[in-house]
Structure 1
Amino acid sequence: MLSKLKKSPILKWFLRIFLGLFVLFILFFTSIYLGMWGEIPSKQELSELQQNKATQILSNDGKLIGKFYIFDRQPIQFEDLPKSLIEALIATEDVRFYEHNGIDNRSLARVFFKTILLQDESSGGGSTITLQLAKNIYGRKDYGALGIVVNKFQEGIMAKRIENIYSKEDILTLYFNTVPFSDNTYGIESASMKFFGKHVKDLAVEEAAVLVGMLKASHRYNPRIFPERSRLRRDVVLTQMEKYGYLTEKEKEKYIAKDLVLNYKNYSNKKGLAPYFREQIRKDLSNVLDTIKNKDGENYNIYRDGLIVHTTLDYKLQSVAEASMREHMANLQQQHEDSYGSRAPWLTNDAILKDAIQRSKAYKNLKEDGLSETEIMQELQKKKQMELFEYNGTVTRQASTIDSIKHYLKFLNSGLLSVDPKDGAVKAWVGGVDFRYFQYDHVSQSKRQVGSTFKPIVYTTAIDNGIEPCTYYSGRAVTYKDGWKPTNATSEEEDEDLNYSMKYALSHSMNTIAVKVLLDAGIPNVVEKAHQMGIESDLPEVPSIALGTAELNMKELTQAYTSFVNSGRPSTPYYITKIEDGAGNLLAEFKPSKTKEPAYSEETREIMVNMMQATVDEGTATRLRYTYGLNNDIAGKTGTTQNNKDGWFVGVTPNLVTVTWVGSDDHRIGFRNTRIGQGANSALPIFGKMMQKMNADEYFSSITSARFKQPSSEVAELLDCEPTKEDGFLKKLFGSKKDEPAEIDMDQPVKEEKQKKKKGFFSRLFGGKKKDN
């Protein structure tokens, strides 16, 4: 019988076919092994695995603020992996992980017979953790019809090499550092931080099961999008852990009974905490890293080299600042829109709208494509589904590009900068209301008129030059050369017969007196003092700078105010302390700027702090007391610019200086009236709300409980005078508006009366020195 089979032509043909297929298989495998289908990483290359790693931005207490990455990945060590996470992975993906050498032959046999021959899809796959690691690192290429076979063989070869190079612990670490999750997230640490807001070492068992469950199909089991589906998959993982002895049945049931609770943290450059600050960090890093070389002599890359950037930002304060800004701006925006009604400039001003349209990216693209003006406008008026920003949540609706431009023209914007006055360390940075839709940073990029927040610089110069704080100035408006006549917010009739101390005039932000003080101090002296205090922009030597017509950057204004609580020395804002590589090696370190010389005397500083405290206690910023109930030691200054274009507030406490600004991105659109647009209503509430939240949290006690040092007895005496004083009897009797000059030469100083409340009767009667009003 056997001899007949050997002579059988059918058997001969079968053997020949089998031998031929075997030879073809060997040749095919050899061609893959030799790299003819694509180079396979050598053992040397595999031993030096280097994956793109996200650069981390950390707050001053080490909390993650954000990341820069191509793929969101943060590497970790094996010691950081909780036991339950490893057990969940092995029970679900590769139960014989510790027994095979990269390829699980038993699993492959099961897949061949059950899945392929018997079509039993429940039998599972044959891919091991090591095979998945090879795929995660090098991906798969398209080789046409044979692609899946070629890729599988390549991964098998790599898996064998990986097992020969690395220990099982190393393989698990590499796997968890490279495995992809939902939302463009790579690596278990990034996934843990994104979905649960905690480091992987702190994951609970049921949370670890959620993340492992996502590996089967990262989008399908995304807990953010499909929570119920993700929970069911989590329960499968927990059941597998019980099946293979990692959990008892009681433990499994306990974890299955728990709700799926996320603490989602999106570290997108346009979302999350401090997006404007992070964008500034990105810009600065590009410049800094150009000067630093790695061990290979190449520049570091912020998107792939896993750098660690330590900053001065206070995570909690930044959160409080952003929340305060958003709460207030939502309310102010409604006031703004209601005040204009149907006559809003973003709806009715053709010049503003036309200019906004022509500056839009959509218009410029169509123009470059050669379309005529008529064709461009037709395209821009076409409706489409569009996502639009609103404070109560983004809305999606049918709108044209022109509708969108009108929509965004109506929005006010805001900026906030808080620094430690002792060294300039930035503690909070809010560049706008929402980085996704308004990417212009009003902290670092914007220059606006600063209004009355410039007045303390004027008064500082005057006092430092010997003008006493109890010098009295008439509140009467004066016409200067070229017909310029600054007035106060109150009526001229109410002010004209009174004389005001400098303290009262500053705290009540009297424009008429600010200009007179400027001229007495000398415009060149004020400009010089401003530069000594940290103002870097060029200042026009004109009387209107007393009212803040100069356009300044928020950082330089903040710098100037730090001098009031830093012994007269301005502190330059800084925000990066050091940069490290992924292993913690120091690459660059940054210190506060060297201490500058005092810009003015200690006596002047004490006087100015006292005068700005009066702004809060009895002047234009009193709503901090009666509306927000703040009892903290606060000095400050409100500011409102011409035609209500900008609102400002500077809040000064012993350990924190905060500047807030509110206005429209389009300079031509201001507030409808001063009631809404004044700094006390538009910008001050952001600071007020922020301080309220800080007062409620013991964490901020070093700021909220700080007290200003009491002024010396000499300074107290200099400040000891009545806020207002009427003209003397003879002045009232013989003085007249007719005697007032039509113009005052701005090159000549204004001689004002220096008078204290403790002067004698005849001094009060005759009014002392003659005044030019």
Structure 2
Amino acid sequence: MQKNTLTKADISRYNKIFWKCLAGLIAFIALVLMATSFGLFGELPSFRDLENPKSNQASIIYTEDKTELGNYFVQNRSNIRYQDISPNVINALISTEDVRFKDHSGIDFKRTFTIFFYNLIGKKQGGSTITQQLALNLFSEEGRARSVFKRIPQKLRELIVAIKLERNYTKEEIITMYLNTVDFGNNSFGIKAAARTYFNTTAAKLSAPQAATLVGILKGVTLYSPTRNPERALGRRNLILSKMRDEHFITEEMYQSAKEKGLELRFRPTNHNEGLATYFRAVLKQDIQKTLAKLSITKADGSAYDLDRDGLKIYTTINSKMQAYAEQAQREYMKELQAQFNAHWKGRNAFKGNENLIVQGMKRSDRYAALKEEGLSEEEIKANFNEPVKMEIFSWRGNIDTTMSPIDSIKYYKMILRNSMMAMDPQNGEVRAWVGGIDFEHFKYDQVKMGTRQVGSTAKPFTYAVGIDNGYSPCYQVENVPYTVTGYGEPWTPRGYGSIPGFLTLRKALANSQNFITAWVMQQVGPTAVATLIKRMGITSDVPPYPSIALGSFEASVYDMTGAYSAFVNHGVWTEPIYLTRIEDKNGNVLYERKPKVVQALNEQTAYVMTYMLKGVVEQGTGVRLRYRYGLTNPIGGKTGTTNDNSDGWFMGITPQLVAGVWTGCEDRAIHFRSTNLGEGANTALPIFALFMKKVYADSELGIKKNVDFQAPANGLTITLDCNQYQNTESPKTGETGGASPDERLGF
């Protein structure tokens, strides 16, 4: 039998065929890559695109004490610098995803040809380098294609972009861009957001086990989620730790110690309903959008900035500590006050005679609108609202899962007391704390700036300020008897709740919120002068020049009232309350800066006398519980306010360095405390100011000092404050004997 043997000619011929095939394959690959680079298989990013890669980047809100207050985002993504990323993260990523990352030029050919071998021996490696994965993340909006026919051209484009990225960026920039773009689940895009979400820390402080946990998520956002599949996540973390050990990024001892630990999550999901200053963030967003549109501030291509995608840097005046103290003070006292309110109404029907409130609440609800759209009749809708359903409701003990009819839920929420508070620096107008409501998840409406309520007796200082400006001394005495204001439309006589008989000084009358003497002052100065001052002090709502504005018949916001009271402290200068100072684009270019408006609302002497008058409220008047119950004996002034039927409770508090306004009431004015003892501002609003100030004073780092008093005018006073020295018995306005009676006791 003849044997088949290869001759030298055969071998030579086969070698030529092999090398021709190999050369042809290489040429074919080169042609395909060249065609891809020319866009034959889809458009490739330009050089400009590479310099400015697109990604949805969250806008960051910063406080004045340089902490992050929150974000606006579609994807919770914030960029971070390479030096701010823990080496543990870099090492975990490289050892798992791309061990030759620092050596290749975007495509790891050695790895490409050995993937099959590595998988056989159990050392699993992905097919794409970190640079290729970055290319996919940045420039493939549709994500990784599932179809083979789509994936092949996508892969080709990915290779070309990876090479371009390597040419234009350093390795540090590439891995940073990658870590800034990847999805870590739970609405956390990028390592910065992931570190905060899963471990409540910064990317720079991530330990090796923490870094391994986060890198492990990249294998499968759901499959290896530490919150959804903790056991799989733990196994994946330990595998990555072993890879880090194999690559000598951690020692054997570190590996053995780390793998014995659990995930030790400090999970803090990012949610617009959670975190500090939720109401403030919502108002701020609307303000920024209006400001950018009004001033026509746009991007280079003329398109509008998108706060949820364009990574703006927003700088505010909020102090993170003061904000936390304000929210804590609210929670502490409103929980107690709600218990008082519930006990007060126990066994009684607060809706007797107010049934229309329930109907209004029903018709304003989303459920009603949806049922109406479905074509249901009013009777069918009413039946639906009376049928119990499962729901989650708000309580001061936390959200409660319960079964309740929608109509009963309306009644329940109508009986929940609402509250808002704002604190600001009176010298520069900067807002330090903003608490727009009791719970943003359930009650979205902001009551600091967006809402207005009757201000009650907190308006009285405006009338007294005009009186002081007209030359009256705080020591001027008036008989506290019913008084009718005439000459300004219909005669007006206020009610005299809590009247103190006899002659009172103006200071004592204001301190004890006496209506008759306030009406007397209004008669002397006239409502037009008072309304003019109120508007000059920053109240933007309507203030008609009627005598009743002396007792606060007009409505105003907490924002405006706090700004107005700041003028008393700031030498009569009203400084517009500001909370936004600067907006920058993602590259740090300043887009907008805000400066406050400034108005000389009062002369300096009148303003100082008013701080003395307002101190009297705390020393001997309706605000005295600041001293005896809360121990605030330092220089503090303020004014309580209570509207008709106790519908609104107010307290405006002033200190030399901080001014704050607090409001409390129900959604509807018809629902309220039945007794003034419980419903007055001294009980419903003052305690929150007191608790806030105690926390502020206790924190020495804030620099709000107890031993600082209100600053007197540099040129001294011509108005007498010492009533023992006061002898003027004539009205400075008319020259006639003042008061309700020509009695020589006037002036003592």
Shorter-chain TM-score: what band? 0.7 to 0.9
- Name the counterpart of 2:252: 249
Q: Aligned pair 1:393/2:379, yes or no? A: no
- The answer (yes or no) to whether the contact 1:522–1:749 under 8 Å persists in 2 is no
- Name the counterpart of 2:699: 697
| Alignment deviations for residues 704-728 of structure 1 (CA, whole Å, 9 cap, x no partner) | 44222468985684441599xxxxx
Q: CA deviation at 1:598?
A: 4.4
- Return 5+ residue gaps in structure 1 as ranges: 5-14, 724-747, 756-762
Partners of 1:267 and 1:43 in 2: CA distance: 35
Q: 2:358 aligns with which of 342, 353, 361?
A: 353
SS at match of 2:574: coil
Q: Aligned pair 1:325/2:333, yes or no? A: no
Partners of 1:683 and 1:561 in 2: CA distance: 16
Q: Aligned pair 1:60/2:64, yes or no? A: yes
Specify the code of the residue in structure 2 equivalent to 1:186: F
Partners of 2:735 and 2:192 in 1: CA distance: 67
Partners of 1:47 and 1:700 in 2: CA distance: 42
In structure 2, the CA distance between the partners of 1:179 and 1:601, relative to structure 1 (3 Å rule), is: closer
- Name the counterpart of 1:759: none
Specify the code of the residue in structure 2 equivalent to 1:273: L
Partners of 1:749 and 1:194 in 2: CA distance: 71
- The answer (yes or no) to whether the contact 1:107–1:125 under 8 Å persists in 2 is no
- Name the counterpart of 1:284: 287
Q: CA deviation at 1:676?
A: 1.9
Partners of 1:627 and 1:385 in 2: CA distance: 43
SS at match of 1:439: coil
Q: Aligned pair 1:235/2:238, yes or no? A: yes
In structure 2, the CA distance between the partners of 1:104 and 1:267, relative to structure 1 (3 Å rule), is: same
Q: 1:608 aligns with which of 610, 619, 625?
A: 610
Q: Aligned pair 1:508/2:512, yes or no? A: yes
- Name the counterpart of 1:8: none
Specify the code of the residue in structure 1 equivalent to 2:583: I
- Name the counterpart of 2:522: 518
- Name the counterpart of 2:574: 570
- Name the counterpart of 2:414: 409
Q: Which moved more, 1:273-282 or 1:362-371?
A: 362-371
- The answer (yes or no) to whether the contact 2:477–2:739 under 8 Å persists in 1 is yes
| Alignment deviations for residues 610-657 of structure 1 (CA, whole Å, 9 cap, x no partner) | 121111122111111111112331111010001111000011000111
Q: 1:547 aligns with which of 534, 548, 551?
A: 551
Partners of 2:4 and 2:47 in 1: CA distance: 49
Q: 1:665 aligns with which of 648, 667, 671?
A: 667
- Name the counterpart of 1:487: 495
In structure 2, the CA distance between the partners of 1:341 and 1:515, relative to structure 1 (3 Å rule), is: same
- The answer (yes or no) to whether the contact 1:648–1:661 under 8 Å persists in 2 is yes
In structure 2, the CA distance between the partners of 1:326 and 1:105, relative to structure 1 (3 Å rule), is: same
Q: CA deviation at 1:121?
A: 7.1
Partners of 1:262 and 1:627 in 2: CA distance: 42
Q: Aligned pair 1:372/2:366, yes or no? A: no
For residues 289-688 of structure 1, what are the structure 2 equivalents within 5 Å? 289-290=292-293, 291-345=296-350, 349-478=354-483, 485-490=493-498, 495-496=500-501, 498-594=502-598, 596-602=599-605, 604-688=606-690
- Name the counterpart of 1:89: 93
- Name the counterpart of 1:188: 191
SS at match of 2:578: coil
- The answer (yes or no) to whether the contact 1:472–1:754 under 8 Å persists in 2 is no
Q: CA deviation at 1:703?
A: 4.3
SS at match of 1:500: strand
Partners of 1:355 and 1:243 in 2: CA distance: 68
Partners of 1:678 and 1:39 in 2: CA distance: 69
For residues 21-40 of structure 1, what are the structure 2 equivalents within 5 Å? 38-40=42-44
**What's the % identity of the aligned pairs?**
38
Partners of 2:538 and 2:465 in 1: CA distance: 13
RMSD: 3.6
Partners of 2:248 and 2:90 in 1: CA distance: 13
| Alignment deviations for residues 72-108 of structure 1 (CA, whole Å, 9 cap, x no partner) | 2222233333322211111122222223443445544
SS at match of 1:519: helix
SS at match of 2:703: helix
TM-score norm. by structure 2 comes to 0.87
Specify the code of the residue in structure 2 equivalent to 1:183: N
For residues 4-153 of structure 1, what are the structure 2 equivalents within 5 Å? 38-41=42-45, 45-109=49-113, 111-112=115-116, 115=119, 123-137=124-138, 138=140, 139-140=142-143, 144=147, 146-147=149-150, 151-153=154-156
Q: CA deviation at 1:170?
A: 2.6
Partners of 1:701 and 1:174 in 2: CA distance: 40
In structure 2, the CA distance between the partners of 1:469 and 1:225, relative to structure 1 (3 Å rule), is: farther
Q: Which moved more, 1:71-80 or 1:142-151?
A: 142-151
SS at match of 1:186: coil
- Name the counterpart of 1:7: none
Specify the code of the residue in structure 2 equivalent to 1:487: R
| Alignment deviations for residues 402-446 of structure 1 (CA, whole Å, 9 cap, x no partner) | 343233222111111111111211111111111111111111111
In structure 2, the CA distance between the partners of 1:248 and 1:453, relative to structure 1 (3 Å rule), is: same
- The answer (yes or no) to whether the contact 2:478–2:746 under 8 Å persists in 1 is no
In structure 2, the CA distance between the partners of 1:233 and 1:623, relative to structure 1 (3 Å rule), is: farther
Q: CA deviation at 1:199?
A: 3.6
- Name the counterpart of 2:729: none
Partners of 2:746 and 2:158 in 1: CA distance: 96
Partners of 1:574 and 1:710 in 2: CA distance: 26
Q: CA deviation at 1:275?
A: 1.4
| Alignment deviations for residues 735-765 of structure 1 (CA, whole Å, 9 cap, x no partner) | xxxxxxxxxxxxx99974399xxxxxxx9xx
Partners of 1:381 and 1:768 in 2: CA distance: 66
- The answer (yes or no) to whether the contact 1:606–1:715 under 8 Å persists in 2 is no
Q: CA deviation at 1:56?
A: 1.1
SS at match of 1:473: strand
Partners of 2:725 and 2:103 in 1: CA distance: 91
- Name the counterpart of 1:730: none
Partners of 1:77 and 1:141 in 2: CA distance: 26
Partners of 1:44 and 1:767 in 2: CA distance: 87
- The answer (yes or no) to whether the contact 2:186–2:269 under 8 Å persists in 1 is no
Q: 1:753 aligns with which of 735, 739, 742?
A: 739
Q: 1:213 aligns with which of 197, 216, 231?
A: 216
Q: Which moved more, 1:401-410 or 1:443-452?
A: 401-410
Q: Which moved more, 1:137-146 or 1:91-100?
A: 137-146
Q: CA deviation at 1:266?
A: 4.9
- Return 5+ residue gaps in structure 2 as ranges: 7-17, 727-733
- The answer (yes or no) to whether the contact 1:345–1:352 under 8 Å persists in 2 is no
| Alignment deviations for residues 436-480 of structure 1 (CA, whole Å, 9 cap, x no partner) | 111111111111100110011111111211222222222233467
